[in-house]
Amino acid sequence: MVVAGDVISPQVEHLTLKVIGSDMSEVSFKIKKTTPLAKLMDAYIKKTGQDQNSVRFLFEGERIQGGQTPDDLSMEDGDQIQVTIMQLGGMC
């Protein structure tokens, strides 16, 4: 119940997330908490010219799936997403 004079803190609708590339470059994105992270991932790939099939996005060491949202992962404003490049190969 809200009483006159109560201060209501507005819920943050948007977050600024930093995407850190394997070369330590940093790209910031402003995204809604409920937007699937696939949008951010696609925008990063287009901006950097990376091959979509060779990069992986990680948050707190866990791989991000495109259908997940910042809310699903309990992300906060200023959190960082790491990008790794998949390396193919094996023993000679």
Query: Is 51 exposed, middle or buried (CB count within 10 Å of its CB: 0-12, 13-18, 19+)?
Result: exposed
Confidence of residue 88 (pLDDT cuts 50, 70, 90): low
pLDDT digits (tens, 9 = 90+) for 8-19: 555 668 999 999
Helical H segments across the chain, by residue range? 38-48
Reported as a single tens digit per residue, the pLDDT across 31-77 is 999 999 999 999 999 999 998 899 999 999 999 999 999 999 999 99
Q: Are 13 and 31 in contact (CB under 8 A)?
A: no
3-state DSSP helix/strand/coil % of the chain, to nearest 5 = 15, 30, 55
Q: Given pLDDT bands bounded at 50, 70 and 90, which one contains residue 5?
A: low
Task: Check residue 87 and give its pLDDT.
Answer: 73
| Class in CATH terms, 14-85 | alpha beta
